[in-house]
């Protein structure tokens, strides 16, 4: 049985409530006048728990999902649905997830990036939106029910987490270098690879291409630490990528750039390009 918040607001009274009783063995209807429609009906929203992803996400997460009034057909014709707020807004949005209410059907549509563009402050990303919409159900007689449907809407792991940019590296022929992976959560917490996630070679074969050029690349699946050993007889730029695969199946690409120099080069004090790469 769905448990949801419901508040009865008495407004204009214009209909009758009919009770059944028995008199001398016969069923008799007794009408009580001036009972609001809000006392006769109870809108019942379906419970919703979901995770939303980007439209470019290949993990099968939906970009948008609807939450409906399960007993909508039982409500009187002319019933309207509005947000329980002091404004005339038809949607609740924080720049990431938009929850839009249909005034005719009561359907709430939760959409990732539903405002057209995604905007947020780093370190202030919401992971889960719980019971975020409160609906004012307005009946034809102007009486009102206030309902807060139960919903838990989460954003994908690949949106909530981000990999800290990795500086380009300079390394001599035959030398090895270890590059750790740092992951930043949506709340600003800095740590390692999230529990349940793993780091693997990218699906496009860029690591294998680098190895064909003589490099040796080892990736720690749990920590994301990458060990790069430069080829003995080749110099120049070597680029490749790894993938951080999250528990929900979404992923982030992590890019690496190495400048391999000859052993005879003595001055390694100048960083290559002096820039960093975004993951």
- Residue-wise pLDDT for 14-64, tens only, equals 444 444 444 455 443 344 468 899 999 999 999 999 999 886 666 789 999
Do 148 and 168 reside in the same domain of the chain? no
Confidence of residue 12 (pLDDT cuts 50, 70, 90): very low
Do 113 and 199 reside in the same domain of the chain? no
* pLDDT value of position 4: 53
Do 97 and 135 reside in the same domain of the chain? yes
- Is position 56 within any domain? yes
Structural domain range at position 273: 161-277
Query: Distance (Å, rounded) from C-alpha 67 to C-alpha 46?
Result: 6
Q: Percent of the chain beyond pLDDT 70?
A: 81
- Residue ending a domain, among 126, 155, 184, is 155
* pLDDT value of position 271: 46
- Is position 122 within any domain? yes
Do 223 and 118 reside in the same domain of the chain? no
- Is position 198 within any domain? yes
Per-residue pLDDT tens over the stretch 186-201? 999 999 999 999 999 9
- Residue ending a domain, among 155, 187, 213, is 155
Do 214 and 147 reside in the same domain of the chain? no
Do 122 and 198 reside in the same domain of the chain? no
Q: What is the average pLDDT value for the chain, to the nearest integer?
A: 85
Do 143 and 214 reside in the same domain of the chain? no
Do 62 and 116 reside in the same domain of the chain? yes
Q: Report whether 64 contacts 52 (CB < 8 A).
A: yes
Do 165 and 231 reside in the same domain of the chain? yes
Model confidence at 265: pLDDT above 90 = no
* pLDDT value of position 11: 41
Other CB atoms within 10 A of residue 206 CB: 19
* pLDDT value of position 218: 98
Q: How many domains does the chain have?
A: 2
Closest to 167 measured CA to CA, from 119, 125, 228, 210: 228
Do 205 and 185 reside in the same domain of the chain? yes
CATH of residue 89: 2.60.40
Phi and psi angles of residue 160, each rounded to the nearest 5 degrees, phi first: -70, -35
**Residue 70 or residue 120, greater confidence:** 70
- Residue ending a domain, among 155, 173, 190, is 155
- Is position 219 within any domain? yes
- Is position 148 within any domain? yes
Q: Which residues contact 221 (CB under 8 A, 6 or more apart)?
A: 198, 199, 200
Do 87 and 176 reside in the same domain of the chain? no
Model confidence at 2: pLDDT above 50 = no
**Residue 48 or residue 10, greater confidence:** 48
Secondary structure element (H or E) that encloses residue 132, with its range: none
CB-count exposure of residue 219 (10 Å: 0-12, 13-18, 19+) = buried
Per-residue pLDDT tens over the stretch 145-186? 999 999 999 999 999 999 998 899 999 999 999 999 999 999
CATH of residue 239: 2.60.40.1080
Do 127 and 197 reside in the same domain of the chain? no
Closest to 277 measured CA to CA, from 261, 243, 254, 246: 254
Across the range 221-231, mean pLDDT stands at 98
């Amino acid at each position: 049985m769905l448990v949801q918040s419901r508040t009865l607001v008495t407004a204009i009274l214009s209909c009758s409530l009919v009770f059944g009783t028995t008199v001398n063995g016969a069923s008799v209807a007794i009408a009580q006048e001036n009972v609001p429609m809000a006392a006769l009906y109870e809108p019942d929203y379906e419970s919703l728990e979901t995770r939303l992803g980007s439209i470019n996400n290949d993990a099968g997460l939906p970009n948008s999902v609807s939450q409906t009034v399960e007993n909508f057909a039982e409500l009187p014709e002319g019933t309207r649905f509005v947000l329980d707020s002091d404004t005339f807004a038809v949607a609740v949005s924080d720049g990431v997830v938009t929850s839009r209410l249909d005034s005719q059907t009561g359907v709430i549509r939760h959409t990732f990036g539903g405002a057209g563009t995604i905007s947020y402050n780093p370190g202030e990303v919401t992971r889960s939106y719980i019971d975020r919409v409160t609906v004012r159900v307005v009946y034809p007689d102007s009486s009102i029910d206030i309902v807060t449907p139960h919903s838990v809407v989460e954003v994908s792991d690949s949106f909530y987490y981000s990999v800290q940019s990795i500086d380009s590296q300079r390394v001599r022929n035959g030398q090895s270098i270890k590059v750790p992976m740092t992951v930043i959560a949506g709340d600003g917490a800095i740590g390692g690879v999230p529990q349940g996630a793993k780091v693997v070679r990218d699906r496009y074969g860029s690591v294998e291409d680098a190895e064909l050029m003589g490099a040796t690349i080892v990736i720690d699946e749990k920590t994301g630490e990458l060990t790069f050993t430069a080829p003995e007889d080749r110099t120049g730029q070597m680029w490749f990528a790894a993938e951080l695969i999250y528990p929900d199946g979404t992923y982030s690409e992590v890019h690496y750039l190495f400048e391999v120099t000859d052993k005879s080069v003595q001055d390694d004090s100048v960083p290559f390009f002096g820039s960093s790469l975004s993951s």
